[in-house]
Amino acid sequence: MNKTVFVSGASSGLGKAVAEYLASSGYRVYAGSRSFGREDVSPPKGCTGIHLDVTDGSSVNAAVSQILDKEGEIYALVNCAAFFTMGSCEEVSYEEISRILDTNFIGMVRTVQAVLPAMRKQGSGRIINFSSINGVLSIPFQGGYSASKHAVEGWSEALAQEVSRFGIQVSVIEPGDCRGGSRKYRNLNPNSAESSSPYYEYYIAGTGKIHFDEQNGMEPVKVAKAVRRLLDSKKPPFRKVVATLTQRSSIWLHKILPGRLFNKIISDYYAPKKG
């Protein structure tokens, strides 16, 4: 098999797991990250590292051109690049929200727009955009991240409708909590973490619960295997949830419960324990 796959955000976490697993499965993988190109940073095992900053259009275009010059085509694009800040909606700055959206959503738009002309020309292609359970429902102190993933969902729907006539298939993958996420790509908001913040106790309890759930989450390779199944499928589903039964249940409850009741359940889950 000589299918070229371009994976963004491949220096750590899910992006790295996806890149390594696809390479071990026989795909020719170009792993993109801002870290690659430095002597002290190696690409994932079996992958060709390529410098990629999804917040810089010229970097994205250069990376795609480099792959096309070497391979002639791109079979699939897998958008994994992500960043987020954990803080209250009131206290996270406009600048930080913009940074989150520029990486998680606009960065995805840049890479998709860069590969589409080649995919249209070849009459085929696969695009897998990483959303999240948080692209379906939101949780406290991840407002910016949730907003970016909701944007991924909506934009990807329109994309799938527009490009299917060119033989291009689009899927959105929605992972739950996974182990091994890089702290380098997440920030704790200093305002919310100050004892003077009106959200302080809730913030400390909530972020503690978030970290606990991640540390006890799925192995990243489970998500990587789901990505491969999407790439190997002749008719891949548009949405693919990869999560525990509990997290799948939260999606189901989000659909059927009144909004006020669902929000209370989630709020109470992350709130400080009484007594």
Amino acid at the residue 22 = L
Model pLDDT for residues 184-241, shown as the tens digit of each residue: 545 678 888 889 999 999 999 999 999 898 888 899 999 999 999 999 999 999 999 9
Q: In the annotation, is 200 catalytic? A: no
The encoded tokens of residue 204 equal: 């400390």
Mean pLDDT throughout 108-120? 98
Mean pLDDT throughout 67-94? 95
The per-residue pLDDT for 187 is 66
The per-residue pLDDT for 214 is 87
pLDDT at 1 over 80: no
Which secondary-structure segment (H or E) carries 240?
strand 239-242
Name the active-site residue from 8, 11, 59, 88.
11
Mean pLDDT throughout 69-76? 96
Q: Are 21 and 46 in contact (CB under 8 A)?
A: no
Q: How confident is the model at residue 274 (pLDDT cuts 50, 70, 90)?
A: confident
Mean pLDDT throughout 178-189? 65
Q: In the annotation, is 75 catalytic? A: no
Name the active-site residue from 131, 138, 156, 250.
131
Contacts with 4 (C-beta within 8 Å, 6 or more apart), sequence order: 27, 28, 29, 30, 67, 71, 73, 74, 75, 76
Name the active-site residue from 25, 35, 146, 149.
149
Q: Are 137 and 257 in contact (CB under 8 A)?
A: no
In the chain, the percentage of residues whose pLDDT exceeds 90 is: 81
Q: In the annotation, is 131 catalytic? A: yes
- Radius of gyration for the chain, computed over Cα atoms and rounded to the nearest angstrom: 19
The per-residue pLDDT for 162 is 98
Domains of the chain: 4-270 (3.40.50.720)
Q: In the annotation, is 182 catalytic? A: no
Pairwise CA distance, residues 24 & 104, whole Å = 27
Average pLDDT, the chain: 93
The per-residue pLDDT for 142 is 94
